[in-house]
Structure 1
Amino acid sequence: MLSTNEILLPKGRKDEDECLKAAALRETYEETGYSATILPLNTPTHATNRTGDGEHEEPIAVTQRVKNGVLKIIFWYAARVNSQEVPKQGTQQEGEDFESIWLDCTQGLAALTFNDDREVAQLAINAAFGPHRGHEFITTSPPTTA
């Protein structure tokens, strides 16, 4: 799909009648082959708290990008995946050619192509683990050609 060596977080378009959270999980699975679950976080949100506790599964950020005159609004979720799991093959849609790579947080933040991806990843890391960066996260990249 990409002709560059961009390193980015999984994301994509939601299907009609699909909720944003389900779209985030589906897109992560399609692009990486890993089944993810939303990570409940105790972070500020404007959503009404119906459970009484501080944790929620709301988006951790919303960003906007304009590409070729088209506005893209991205709702970001923190999710968890088992890094020891073997990813399922054949989950990508036609025209997608991503390779999943695991990086520790420091390497991942430095490697991400887009500034807003880095900012969102830092928000998720801080919300999940505090300022400590000793954990891994997954990114997607076009495969390297030899």
Structure 2
Amino acid sequence: MSRRKRLVEAAGAIVLRRPKGRRVQVLLVHRPSYNDWSLPKGKLDPDEYLAAAAVRETWEETAFAIRLRHPTNRIQYPIPTGTKRVAYWLGTVIGQRRFKPNSEVDRRVWLSVPSALKRMTYADERELLEHAVTLPETTPLLIVRHGKAMERKNWSGKDQLRQLSSRGRRQSKQLVPLLDAYGVAELDSSASTRCMTTLVPYAKAKRLDVQGWATLSEEKAKDNPDAVRKLMKRLIKQTAATGVPRAICGHRPVLPLMLEALGVPDRPMLTAAVLVAHLSPDGETVSVEWHKPRA
């Protein structure tokens, strides 16, 4: 009996830079075991978000710390155990450490795009690079549904004070590397406890404050949906104008209004699910990506 083939998920980055007075360059790595030149990439760790894996693998293979920008196409190809599917994002360097050649990656190089296209081993990665350099400059804005909360029937206090369950607390911790992958530096939330608490682990890790908005609570939004639309438009405009990535945490009944402001059709979101909207400088949504909770 033949063994069942499986799908292996992986993630990588097309890391670009533009040295002063020079053309755009892309980061490539050489893998001695394959004797190939390729984009940095690798398989997911257990319960890891794809976007977080792209950042981690780039760091491990190249010693460059990056932040993700616009998503690119995915590629897939056969491997002995089944199929590997790799998701890629544009990446920007924000830091680095000393690179130490090893058995997995022994060289890294910055090349102009024409030179990289000649050097790269795989045709599908060359197509990715050709597409990536045409993508517009964008800023990510993340919409987060709060983590799993305690059941209403088990909570005797005010609903606005209802707390996260143990599962919700695990979800909030697992959101940290995802928000960090996009360089989130502004945090907004419904003023309700279960929303604010969802962003607290990331806020503590990055020494940020969470701005709570009563307007985004279930109770206020039900009575005044126009206020939600107005606030969202203001936050979207501010994010696009400053270029500072932002995350906004909300409730299931309020999410349709929040997505509407981004021009995104309503769609069910599980607890701790995340929508990433990539905004143009004028605040238009260029593309979106969805991330399911890992717990």
- Give the distance between the partners of 2:136 and 2:98, measured in 1 at CA: 26
Classify 1:86/1:69 alpha carbon distance in 2 versus 1 (closer, same or farther; 3 Å). Answer: closer
The 5 A counterparts of 1:52-131 are 59-81=71-93, 87-90=97-100, 95-128=103-136
- 1:113 & 1:128 partners in 2: Cα distance? 26
Instruction: Say which structure is richer in helix.
Output: 2
The TM-score normalised by the length of structure 2 is: 0.33
Q: CA RMSD in A?
A: 2.3
1:121 & 1:14 partners in 2: Cα distance?
22
Q: Aligned pair count?
A: 107
Deviation at 1:95, TM superposition (A): 4.2
CA distance in 1, matches of 2:136, 2:108: 21
**2:56 is equivalent to residue 26 of structure 1:** yes
Structure 2 SS opposite 1:65: strand
Point out the structure with the larger strand share. 2
Q: 1-side partners of 2:60 and 2:114: how far apart?
A: 25
Contiguous gaps of at least 5 residues in structure 2: 1-30, 138-295
Sequence identity of aligned pairs in percent? 30
1:14 maps to 2:22: no
